[in-house]
Amino acid sequence: MELLENRFLRNKDLIKQELLDEITVIGLGGIGSTVVTLLSIMGWDKIIGWDDDKLEEHNLSSTTYPFYYTGSSKADAAKDTAEAFSGKTTEFEPNKEKWNSSKPLGKKVITCLDNMDTRMEVYETWRNDGHDANDAFLIDLRMDALSIEMITITHRENGFDMYTKEPLEVEEIYNNYWVSDVEIEPAPCTMKHTIFSSSIIGGLGVNQAFNCVGNKPYYSYIWTGLLPLNLKKENLVKSIKNGVL
Protein backbone atom coordinates (compact mmCIF):
# COMPACT_ATOMS: atom_id res chain seq x y z
CA MET A 1 0.00 0.00 0.00
CA GLU A 2 1.32 3.43 -0.91
CA LEU A 3 2.21 5.62 2.06
CA LEU A 4 -0.26 8.49 2.41
CA GLU A 5 1.43 11.87 2.02
CA ASN A 6 0.17 13.27 5.33
CA ARG A 7 0.20 10.01 7.29
CA PHE A 8 2.67 11.27 9.90
CA LEU A 9 2.01 15.00 9.60
CA ARG A 10 1.11 15.31 13.31
CA ASN A 11 4.36 13.63 14.31
CA LYS A 12 6.46 16.11 12.32
CA ASP A 13 7.52 18.40 15.15
CA LEU A 14 7.59 15.64 17.77
CA ILE A 15 9.99 13.08 16.30
CA LYS A 16 11.80 12.33 13.06
CA GLN A 17 10.21 9.29 11.42
CA GLU A 18 13.61 7.99 10.31
CA LEU A 19 14.46 7.36 13.99
CA LEU A 20 11.71 4.74 14.16
CA ASP A 21 13.64 1.96 12.48
CA GLU A 22 13.57 -1.48 14.14
CA ILE A 23 12.27 -2.61 17.52
CA THR A 24 11.84 -5.98 19.23
CA VAL A 25 8.77 -6.85 21.30
CA ILE A 26 9.07 -9.97 23.48
CA GLY A 27 5.65 -11.21 24.57
CA LEU A 28 2.62 -10.52 22.39
CA GLY A 29 -0.23 -11.04 24.84
CA GLY A 30 -2.04 -8.47 26.97
CA ILE A 31 0.62 -5.75 27.05
CA GLY A 32 2.24 -6.79 23.78
CA SER A 33 -0.97 -6.49 21.78
CA THR A 34 -1.31 -2.83 22.80
CA VAL A 35 2.38 -2.14 22.22
CA VAL A 36 2.33 -3.61 18.70
CA THR A 37 -0.81 -1.65 17.81
CA LEU A 38 0.65 1.66 18.97
CA LEU A 39 4.10 1.09 17.45
CA SER A 40 2.43 0.37 14.11
CA ILE A 41 0.30 3.50 14.25
CA MET A 42 3.39 5.48 15.29
CA GLY A 43 5.14 4.33 12.12
CA TRP A 44 8.00 2.01 13.09
CA ASP A 45 9.65 0.45 10.03
CA LYS A 46 10.01 -3.04 11.50
CA ILE A 47 8.77 -4.88 14.58
CA ILE A 48 10.31 -8.23 15.55
CA GLY A 49 7.85 -10.14 17.75
CA TRP A 50 8.39 -13.22 19.94
CA ASP A 51 5.67 -15.40 21.47
CA ASP A 52 4.97 -19.14 21.33
CA ASP A 53 1.40 -18.99 22.72
CA LYS A 54 -1.98 -19.17 21.05
CA LEU A 55 -4.76 -16.73 21.84
CA GLU A 56 -7.17 -18.51 24.17
CA GLU A 57 -10.68 -17.51 25.21
CA HIS A 58 -9.57 -16.28 28.63
CA ASN A 59 -7.04 -13.93 26.95
CA LEU A 60 -9.76 -11.92 25.24
CA SER A 61 -10.45 -9.76 28.30
CA SER A 62 -6.89 -8.41 28.44
CA THR A 63 -5.69 -8.18 24.81
CA THR A 64 -6.68 -5.88 21.97
CA TYR A 65 -6.89 -8.70 19.42
CA PRO A 66 -10.33 -9.25 17.83
CA PHE A 67 -12.40 -12.24 18.94
CA TYR A 68 -11.90 -14.14 15.69
CA TYR A 69 -8.19 -14.70 16.43
CA THR A 70 -9.13 -17.12 19.22
CA GLY A 71 -7.13 -20.30 18.61
CA SER A 72 -4.59 -18.53 16.37
CA SER A 73 -1.01 -17.85 17.36
CA LYS A 74 -0.45 -14.53 19.08
CA ALA A 75 2.42 -13.90 16.65
CA ASP A 76 0.06 -14.18 13.67
CA ALA A 77 -2.52 -11.95 15.37
CA ALA A 78 0.21 -9.38 16.07
CA LYS A 79 1.43 -9.47 12.48
CA ASP A 80 -2.07 -8.88 11.11
CA THR A 81 -2.59 -6.09 13.64
CA ALA A 82 0.65 -4.35 12.65
CA GLU A 83 -0.20 -4.57 8.97
CA ALA A 84 -3.79 -3.41 9.46
CA PHE A 85 -2.91 -0.34 11.52
CA SER A 86 0.13 0.64 9.45
CA GLY A 87 -1.32 -0.03 6.01
CA LYS A 88 1.44 -2.64 5.64
CA THR A 89 4.13 0.04 5.92
CA THR A 90 5.35 -1.61 9.14
CA GLU A 91 7.08 -4.92 8.55
CA PHE A 92 6.30 -7.44 11.27
CA GLU A 93 8.55 -10.46 11.75
CA PRO A 94 6.62 -13.12 13.72
CA ASN A 95 8.61 -15.64 15.77
CA LYS A 96 6.30 -18.37 17.06
CA GLU A 97 8.64 -19.52 19.79
CA LYS A 98 9.88 -18.39 23.17
CA TRP A 99 12.78 -15.98 23.12
CA ASN A 100 15.93 -17.16 24.91
CA SER A 101 19.51 -15.94 25.07
CA SER A 102 20.50 -18.03 22.04
CA LYS A 103 18.17 -15.89 19.90
CA PRO A 104 19.08 -12.51 18.39
CA LEU A 105 18.25 -9.36 20.33
CA GLY A 106 18.27 -5.88 18.84
CA LYS A 107 19.33 -2.61 20.42
CA LYS A 108 15.73 -1.39 20.96
CA VAL A 109 13.69 -3.85 23.05
CA ILE A 110 10.36 -3.82 24.89
CA THR A 111 9.59 -6.82 27.11
CA CYS A 112 5.94 -7.70 27.78
CA LEU A 113 6.49 -11.06 29.44
CA ASP A 114 4.57 -12.89 32.13
CA ASN A 115 7.57 -14.37 33.95
CA MET A 116 10.43 -12.68 35.77
CA ASP A 117 13.21 -15.15 35.04
CA THR A 118 13.00 -14.58 31.30
CA ARG A 119 12.93 -10.82 31.94
CA MET A 120 16.27 -11.11 33.72
CA GLU A 121 17.62 -13.21 30.84
CA VAL A 122 16.61 -10.48 28.39
CA TYR A 123 18.16 -7.79 30.57
CA GLU A 124 21.47 -9.61 30.99
CA THR A 125 21.67 -10.43 27.28
CA TRP A 126 20.90 -6.86 26.26
CA ARG A 127 23.41 -5.43 28.73
CA ASN A 128 26.15 -7.86 27.74
CA ASP A 129 25.64 -7.12 24.04
CA GLY A 130 27.20 -3.74 24.78
CA HIS A 131 24.59 -1.52 23.15
CA ASP A 132 25.94 2.02 23.40
CA ALA A 133 24.09 3.87 20.64
CA ASN A 134 22.28 7.04 21.67
CA ASP A 135 18.92 5.48 20.82
CA ALA A 136 19.44 2.01 22.34
CA PHE A 137 17.06 1.03 25.14
CA LEU A 138 15.48 -1.80 27.09
CA ILE A 139 11.98 -1.11 28.42
CA ASP A 140 10.52 -3.72 30.78
CA LEU A 141 6.72 -3.54 31.16
CA ARG A 142 4.88 -5.35 33.97
CA MET A 143 1.35 -5.45 35.33
CA ASP A 144 -1.20 -7.20 37.42
CA ALA A 145 -4.92 -6.52 37.56
CA LEU A 146 -4.69 -3.14 39.31
CA SER A 147 -1.09 -1.94 39.14
CA ILE A 148 1.55 -1.37 36.48
CA GLU A 149 5.33 -1.07 36.55
CA MET A 150 7.98 0.06 34.04
CA ILE A 151 11.77 -0.10 34.21
CA THR A 152 13.90 1.54 31.52
CA ILE A 153 17.61 1.03 30.85
CA THR A 154 19.67 3.00 28.32
CA HIS A 155 23.37 3.68 27.83
CA ARG A 156 23.01 7.12 29.43
CA GLU A 157 24.33 7.75 32.91
CA ASN A 158 21.54 6.76 35.22
CA GLY A 159 21.19 9.83 37.40
CA PHE A 160 20.89 9.53 41.16
CA ASP A 161 18.76 8.03 43.88
CA MET A 162 16.04 10.57 44.70
CA TYR A 163 16.39 9.87 48.44
CA THR A 164 20.12 9.39 49.04
CA LYS A 165 21.26 11.54 46.09
CA GLU A 166 23.90 8.89 45.41
CA PRO A 167 24.66 7.79 41.82
CA LEU A 168 22.84 4.65 40.70
CA GLU A 169 24.38 1.92 38.55
CA VAL A 170 22.39 0.14 35.86
CA GLU A 171 22.53 -3.10 37.82
CA GLU A 172 21.08 -1.42 40.90
CA ILE A 173 18.16 0.07 39.03
CA TYR A 174 17.13 -3.24 37.50
CA ASN A 175 17.95 -5.55 40.38
CA ASN A 176 16.20 -3.36 42.97
CA TYR A 177 12.88 -4.14 41.29
CA TRP A 178 13.34 -7.75 40.28
CA VAL A 179 12.33 -10.92 42.14
CA SER A 180 12.41 -14.49 40.90
CA ASP A 181 9.26 -16.26 39.81
CA VAL A 182 9.38 -18.61 42.81
CA GLU A 183 9.16 -15.64 45.20
CA ILE A 184 5.95 -14.29 43.67
CA GLU A 185 2.73 -15.47 45.24
CA PRO A 186 0.42 -16.52 42.40
CA ALA A 187 -2.81 -14.57 42.01
CA PRO A 188 -6.10 -16.33 41.24
CA CYS A 189 -6.53 -16.67 37.48
CA THR A 190 -9.78 -14.70 37.76
CA MET A 191 -8.00 -11.53 38.92
CA LYS A 192 -4.69 -11.48 37.04
CA HIS A 193 -5.02 -8.92 34.27
CA THR A 194 -7.38 -6.23 33.06
CA ILE A 195 -7.65 -4.55 29.67
CA PHE A 196 -7.21 -1.11 31.21
CA SER A 197 -3.98 -2.02 33.01
CA SER A 198 -2.54 -3.65 29.88
CA SER A 199 -3.55 -0.67 27.75
CA ILE A 200 -2.14 1.89 30.18
CA ILE A 201 1.23 0.20 30.59
CA GLY A 202 1.40 -0.47 26.84
CA GLY A 203 0.85 3.21 26.16
CA LEU A 204 3.43 4.25 28.75
CA GLY A 205 5.92 1.84 27.21
CA VAL A 206 5.52 3.28 23.71
CA ASN A 207 5.79 6.79 25.16
CA GLN A 208 9.02 5.71 26.83
CA ALA A 209 10.33 4.40 23.50
CA PHE A 210 9.60 7.87 22.09
CA ASN A 211 11.54 9.43 24.99
CA CYS A 212 14.54 7.17 24.44
CA VAL A 213 14.72 7.44 20.66
CA GLY A 214 14.14 11.19 20.74
CA ASN A 215 16.72 11.83 23.51
CA LYS A 216 14.06 13.10 25.92
CA PRO A 217 14.30 12.94 29.73
CA TYR A 218 12.71 9.92 31.38
CA TYR A 219 12.34 8.20 34.75
CA SER A 220 14.08 4.83 35.04
CA TYR A 221 11.37 3.47 37.31
CA ILE A 222 7.62 4.13 37.26
CA TRP A 223 4.96 2.33 39.29
CA THR A 224 1.27 3.17 39.25
CA GLY A 225 -1.50 1.76 41.40
CA LEU A 226 -4.96 2.03 39.91
CA LEU A 227 -7.10 1.59 43.05
CA PRO A 228 -6.96 4.42 43.96
CA LEU A 229 -4.67 6.14 41.47
CA ASN A 230 -1.16 6.41 42.91
CA LEU A 231 2.15 7.15 41.19
CA LYS A 232 5.74 6.43 42.18
CA LYS A 233 8.70 7.45 40.02
CA GLU A 234 12.45 7.32 40.55
CA ASN A 235 15.74 8.29 38.92
CA LEU A 236 15.26 11.09 36.41
CA VAL A 237 17.61 10.63 33.46
CA LYS A 238 18.27 13.83 31.57
CA SER A 239 18.68 14.43 27.86
CA ILE A 240 22.13 14.42 26.32
CA LYS A 241 23.14 17.77 24.82
CA ASN A 242 26.37 18.08 22.87
CA GLY A 243 27.50 14.76 24.34
CA VAL A 244 26.91 15.88 27.94
CA LEU A 245 24.01 15.14 30.30
Pairing verdict, β 147-154 and 218-226:
antiparallel
2 located within any domain: no
Rounded to two decimals, the pTM is 0.91
pLDDT value at 198 more than 90: yes
A 10 A CB-CB count for 76 gives 19
Q: Cα(first)–Cα(last) distance of the chain, in Å? A: 42
7 located within any domain: no
- Least confidently predicted of 59-68, 143-152, 167-176, 197-206: 167-176
153 located within any domain: yes
| Predicted pLDDT of residue 41 | 94
Q: In this predicted model, what pLDDT tens digit does every residue of 92-146 receive, in sequence order? A: 999 999 999 999 899 999 999 988 999 999 999 998 886 667 789 999 999 988 9
pLDDT value at 207 more than 50: yes
The number of folded domains in the chain is: 1
Residue 218: enclosing H or E segment and its boundaries? strand 218-226
44 located within any domain: yes
Average pLDDT, the chain: 87
1 located within any domain: no
Domain that holds residue 214: 15-237
6 located within any domain: no
Confidence of residue 225 (pLDDT cuts 50, 70, 90): very high
Q: In this predicted model, what pLDDT tens digit does every residue of 47-103 receive, in sequence order? A: 999 999 999 998 888 999 999 999 999 999 999 999 999 998 999 999 999 999 999
CATH of the domain at 202: 3.40.50.720
